[in-house]
Structure 1
Amino acid sequence: MNAPLWTRDDFIAGANGTPKGELGQDITGISIDSRTIEVGEAFFAIKGDRFDGHDFVGTALANGASVAVVSADKLDSLPSTGRYLIVDDPLAAMERLAVASRARSNARIVAVTGSVGKTGTKEALRLALGRSGKVHASVASFNNHWGVPLTLARMPADVDFGVFEIGMSAPGEITPLVRMVRPHVAFITTVQAVHLEFFDSVEHIAQAKAEIFKGLEPGGVAILNRDNNQFDLLMFLAKADHVQEIRTFGENQNADSFTEDVRRKAGSSAVSARILGEQLSYTLGAGGRHHVHNSLAVLTAVVELGGNLALAGEALADMRAPKGRGEVTVLQLPEGTAELLDESYNANPASMRAALSVLGEAEITPPGRRIAVLGDMRELGEDGPKLHAELSDPVNEAGVEALFCVGPQMKQLWDRVPQGLRVMYAEQAADLQDHLLQEIRSGDVVMVKGSLGTRMGPLVEALKTDYPPQNDDAAA
């Protein structure tokens, strides 16, 4: 039988609460969602911007929660027969439990941040380290003020490696999270023009990302992108935080880990690289220059964490771009097939250019075309119109032959590209759905991307509904 995630006594001590009712002896997991909670898990009644977990305590207990962690000032409104751990604030209690989890662990820990590529890189780390030991990693994009402590509180005591994604949208957000995680290795994928609505320069974004070095364990390693325009600033900031061990990665052969040869196509890449002086050839099961680039940081981190480099390289063949972040699906048309590149989860200038680069690498079967369906990039502030218009060059470089644009900002791109590329512009994504479905033909490669608020995801689902994937193995 597997050991419990937390014993009753350790859980109570870690969260620092007062029990009320008959709590079970073992806590098998940690949850903040009453809809998905499993029997034996502890439910933390966290209050969010649009909900209050205390409203769902009854459901969580009915669904098998071993205990509900609740605020003392909410107790009178809850069922009197419940199993409770009474605390000052459930989120603060989860943070305390996260700190206790880190304190009891002997795992080697890596933390990753960056303007783009965090989640895909986190998944690559999970795969690469998995060949060298037991790995615990963030789920989905659990990278914020509740996602990081939730992931840490869920970390079993016996894991060999922990992988944490840390995000931010404002200065000062990374520091408390990384000090909770206390990584042995921390790296920044890249710093780009993202969240400019909240920052007045890319340099200030770099300063906020560099907060990840403030939580490094003594003797910890910082891994920096040698090719990034903010490299010199990040190097300065790492040293200012007294980081002595710094490694670099990139296409630049002055980096500690760099590519020697890359052969790319839409769904994968064959890479020859030198990782901290050791030659390694490997296949990366997700296409795109950005994935190749970040794989160098992943493999560097594996070495610094004590993992097996050769086994890590083999594992990366199993890497797949997640849904909404580059997933490749083969659609079955009445006469032939088409490929769908699903980049619908989110968008910023850097990730948009990366996705267009992947589209440009796609192999086209005549009479197929490269089709780009692009929605607004949000949170770019006053630079938004300019940054949208500047996508015209990457669109042309990718060999796009048919362009759909969605949203008032993307109108800047629409007005700038040649007339022959334009298929349809719409204010709302739903307004071009029918035209898009009619436009697809055999041999096409279609890439859909936009910020989450532009609702590009339903376009992807409509394509999959009208032209179902060939089989379960068609998604890459």
Structure 2
Amino acid sequence: MPDDVAADAPLLVVDDTMTALWDLGRTGRARTAARVVGVTGSVGKTSIKEALKQVLARQGRTSGNDGSLNNHWGLPLTLARLPQSAVYGVVEMGMNHAGELTPLAQLARPHVAVITTIAPVHIEHFPSVEAIADAKAEIFTGCTPDGIVVLPADDVHFSRLAAAARRAGIERVISFGIAADADVRLLGADVDGGGSSIHARVIDRDLVYRVSLLGRHWVVNSLCVLAAVQALGGDVTQAAADLVTLQAAKGRGRQCIVRLPYGSFRLIDDSYNASPASMAASFDVLGRLQTGSGGRRIAILGDMLELGRDEIAFHAALAVPLEDNGIDLVFTAGERMQALAAVLPPHMQGAHAADAATLAPLVAAAVRPGDVVSVKGSAGSRMVRVVEALRALDGASEAASERTCAEGVS
């Protein structure tokens, strides 16, 4: 018995805790009649999972992963918690190596498998991006016999993924994107500082709706969400209408206003994770936001991890989208981010530090009223420390500051 467990506490003693957890997950999946959608991809899987949870919850009892519990212990835990009465189950599946998704998919047995996109994320563990696509396609091996696959029509690996789905015995593929032959296709979009107004065709119907989350990437994300709802047999028109209610999760683009003695600045907490693709999306959001009088658009960036032998080039290449999106000032932390700091034009150079903890006070001293500040980096770079330092500048109470960030800003 563990020393810290009360003698009368309910306790199930097993030979192997991981085996027992998987047995519980398998039982949880077997007992529910829920339609299950599995989500994977190089970028955006947690965002898509959260969006699906939010819109499907308005159509029936919905359950899914908390946070990013998407690995060999998080997924069985999620399935073990899946209520018998759930109408929908939304499960995210992550991987760093080939072969990891197969057992997860076979445990989850999704009715619908979604791949958000393929990109050079965790590339240090793979010989090529094509190998990443093949590893993501392992999700198809767990699909139910009537399974449906949702794929990004604009991805260069679409044909490869579709072929893998056919080899897995899946007959129906629903595509989403800008491509003219996409099943869920973008017809038009107006992206502004408060979200996006979108016109899309979903199979045979035209829909006009608005997404509250910022950035051009959310235009395509919304198409993915609607494609998944269509595949699940849900109400697509209702889902489109509900996209305006989406809220960003903590560390994934959540915004708040930080009050200073003589004004305030806008903080975007995107500190949970980073890749070249998600960095570019983050810069697009930052570039679209209006600054206050005398304010600047400031990007605070930490290392992107697991990018393999080309990691230095990936970091240096961020200078182009930073300039293209009109970012005024860039602060960097980490050994890899030195490559970016070295190629930035002098007028964009803020400061560089060895790590986030060292950078945090430099950034806190530099911000001023009217600024819009975005913080992003891989989880291992601990850029949340910079977020915490900036939020600590708020002149309001800690509880009020937390509430403002949780509610976000329009």
> Does TM-score exceed 0.5, indicating one fold?
yes
Secondary structure of 2:197's counterpart equals strand
Is 1:131–1:308's contact at 8 Å kept on the other side of the alignment?
no
Secondary structure of 1:197's counterpart equals helix
Deviation string, structure 1 residues 293-313 (Cα, Å, up to 9, x no partner): 122111111122121112212
> 1:448, 1:280 → 2: CA distance?
34
1:156 counterpart = 2:80: no
Distance 1:266 1:378, change over 3 A: farther
> 1:415, 1:203 → 2: CA distance?
31
CA shift for structure 1 position 260: 1.9
1:69 counterpart = 2:15: no
> 1:267, 1:92 → 2: CA distance?
47
CA shift for structure 1 position 462: 0.8
Deviation string, structure 1 residues 66-112 (Cα, Å, up to 9, x no partner): 3x233xxxxxxxxxxxxxxxx33121112112112222221111000
Quote the residue 1:453 is aligned against.
Answer: 380
> 2:208, 2:262 → 1: CA distance?
39
> 1:275, 1:336 → 2: CA distance?
45
**Which residue identity lines up with residue 59 of structure 1 in the other structure?**
D
* Among 252, 257, 269, the residue aligned to 2:184: 257
Is 2:41–2:136's contact at 8 Å kept on the other side of the alignment?
yes
- Aligned counterparts, 1:319-398, within 5 A: 319-398=246-325
Is 1:69–1:90's contact at 8 Å kept on the other side of the alignment?
no
Moved >4 Å (runs of 4+) = 468-471
> 2:198, 2:337 → 1: CA distance?
35
* Among 231, 239, 248, the residue aligned to 1:304: 231
Quote the residue 2:128 is aligned against.
Answer: 201
> 1:229, 1:335 → 2: CA distance?
49
Quote the residue 2:4 is aligned against.
Answer: 59
Deviation string, structure 1 residues 15-69 (Cα, Å, up to 9, x no partner): xxxxxxxxxxxxxxxxxxxxxxxxxxxxxxxxxxxxxxx7xx443446x853x23
Higher relative contact order (CA 8 A, sep 6+): 2
Is 2:257–2:404's contact at 8 Å kept on the other side of the alignment?
no
1:114 counterpart = 2:41: yes
- Aligned counterparts, 1:402-413, within 5 A: 402-413=329-340
Is 2:194–2:212's contact at 8 Å kept on the other side of the alignment?
yes
Secondary structure of 2:327's counterpart equals coil
> 1:91, 1:267 → 2: CA distance?
44
- Aligned counterparts, 1:286-297, within 5 A: 286-297=213-224
- Give the count of matched residue pairs: 403
Quote the residue 1:431 is aligned against.
Answer: 358
Is 2:35–2:88's contact at 8 Å kept on the other side of the alignment?
yes
Quote the residue 1:181 is aligned against.
Answer: 108
Quote the residue 1:221 is aligned against.
Answer: 148
- Aligned counterparts, 1:30-45, within 5 A: none
Is 1:143–1:167's contact at 8 Å kept on the other side of the alignment?
yes
Is 2:261–2:395's contact at 8 Å kept on the other side of the alignment?
no
> 1:60, 1:103 → 2: CA distance?
30
**Which residue identity lines up with residue 137 of structure 2 in the other structure?**
A
Q: Calculate the aligned-residue CA RMSD, in Å.
A: 1.7
> 1:149, 1:465 → 2: CA distance?
37
> 2:26, 2:269 → 1: CA distance?
37
Is 2:195–2:213's contact at 8 Å kept on the other side of the alignment?
yes
**Which residue identity lines up with residue 311 of structure 2 in the other structure?**
G
Is 1:227–1:252's contact at 8 Å kept on the other side of the alignment?
yes
Secondary structure of 1:253's counterpart equals coil
1:401 counterpart = 2:344: no
CA shift for structure 1 position 276: 1.9
> 1:119, 1:132 → 2: CA distance?
20
> 1:400, 1:251 → 2: CA distance?
27
Is the deviation greater in 439-448 or in 144-153? Answer: 439-448
Gaps of 5+ in 2: none
> 2:394, 2:276 → 1: CA distance?
30
Gaps of 5+ in 1: 1-53, 71-86
Secondary structure of 2:124's counterpart equals coil
Is the deviation greater in 106-115 or in 277-286? Answer: 277-286
> 1:235, 1:361 → 2: CA distance?
35
Is 2:61–2:88's contact at 8 Å kept on the other side of the alignment?
yes
**Which residue identity lines up with residue 98 of structure 2 in the other structure?**
P
